[in-house]
C-alpha cells in the first residue's frame, strides 16, 4: 500500500532534517530525519496520531531564513521499529512554499 501512495506523489522528495512539535502542546522542538516534498514532509520517529497538527521548522541549503509551517498528520505507517509520520502542510508562507519549490526543482536537476 505504501508503494501505491508513493506512486501518487507528484513532487520529488529530498532528504531533510526537521524540528517538530505538536502545536496544541507546545514545548520543545524535537529533531527528526525525513524527506521534504512540495506539499509536506515525512519523518520517522514518534507515533503522532492521525489528524494532529504540528509545527515544523527546517532550513533549506543556501537559504538564510528558517522555513516555518503548520501541518496535519494525514497518515502514520510502520517502518521497522519506528513509525513514519506523513504530514501535509496546512499553513506555510508563500515565500517559503516558493523557496521549497525552487529547492526541489534544483535538486531534481542534479
Output the DSSP codes for 67-101. Answer: EEEEEEEEEEEEETTEEEEEEEEEE--HHHHHHHH
Q: What is the pLDDT of residues 11-30, one digit of tens each?
A: 678 999 999 999 888 889 99
Q: Each residue of 17-72: pLDDT tens digit?
A: 999 999 888 889 999 999 999 999 999 876 778 899 999 999 998 888 999 999 99
Q: Residue 101 sits in which domain range? A: 2-109
Residue-averaged pLDDT of the chain: 86
Cell of 54: 504540528
Q: What is the structure's pLDDT at 109?
A: 58
CATH number for the domain including 62?
2.40.10.220
> Considering the entire predicted model, what is its pTM?
0.82
The tally of domains found in the chain comes to 1
Amino acid at each position: 500500500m505504501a508503494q501505491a501512495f508513493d506512486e501518487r506523489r507528484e513532487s520529488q522528495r529530498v532528504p531533510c532534517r526537521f524540528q517538530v512539535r505538536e502545536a496544541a502542546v507546545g514545548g520543545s522542538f524535537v529533531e527528526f530525519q525525513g524527506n521534504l516534498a512540495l506539499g509536506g514532509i515525512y519523518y520517522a520517529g514518534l507515533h503522532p496520531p492521525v489528524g494532529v497538527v504540528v509545527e515544523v521548522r527546517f532550513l533549506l541549503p543556501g537559504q538564510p531564513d528558517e522555513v516555518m509551517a503548520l501541518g496535519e498528520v494525514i497518515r502514520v505507517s510502520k517502518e521497522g521499529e519506528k513509525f513514519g509520520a506523513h504530514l501535509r502542510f496546512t499553513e506555510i508562507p508563500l515565500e517559503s512554499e516558493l523557496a521549497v519549490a525552487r529547492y526541489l526543482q534544483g535538486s531534481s536537476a542534479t
